[in-house]
Amino acid sequence: MFTISDLAEEFGVTTRTIRYYEELGLLNPRRSEGGRRLYTGREYTQLKLVLRGKRFGFSLDEIKEMVLLFDEDRTGEKQLKRTIEYGNEKLAEVNERIAELVEIRVEIEKLLADFNGKLEGIQREVK
């Protein structure tokens, strides 16, 4: 069992972030007799998946769908299929962004080459 502080420290997030994920239904901790949140290995894994999904750029709605699909189908088949669909979409977005960045890099390299040539020309004239 983990406390909210344990998880926050483990994953480098705030306790407020964890409570927010709970409000969204991404985590469902047990409660002690005193009302303290108690997280099992299941919630630990779910939080790990949520944070990984965020790092990869998935929305919280997409993450929630992927995480909660395991509850519908304990074989994990539905979860895997949906995760693969979302993953393919995200990969296409990343590849598109990479192509855009490559184009920008090429343009910047050309501009810098032009600017360096102009600067060299100015410096030759001054001498």
The domain limits of the chain are 4-126
Tokens 């189908």 belong to residue = 73
> Is the per-residue pLDDT at 74 higher than 90?
no
> Is the per-residue pLDDT at 79 higher than 80?
yes
- Predicted confidence (pLDDT) per residue in 50-73, tens digit: 999 999 999 999 999 988 887 788
> Is the per-residue pLDDT at 112 higher than 90?
yes
How far, in Å, are 75, 77, 83, 105 from residue 40 at the CA level? 20, 23, 23, 47
pTM of the predicted model, to two decimals?
Answer: 0.74
Tokens 């949520």 belong to residue = 50
Helices H, strands E: what count in the chain?
5, 2
d(CA 121, CA 75): 69
The CATH T-level fold of domain 4-126 is Multidrug-efflux Transporter Regulator; Chain: A; Domain 2 (1.10.1660)
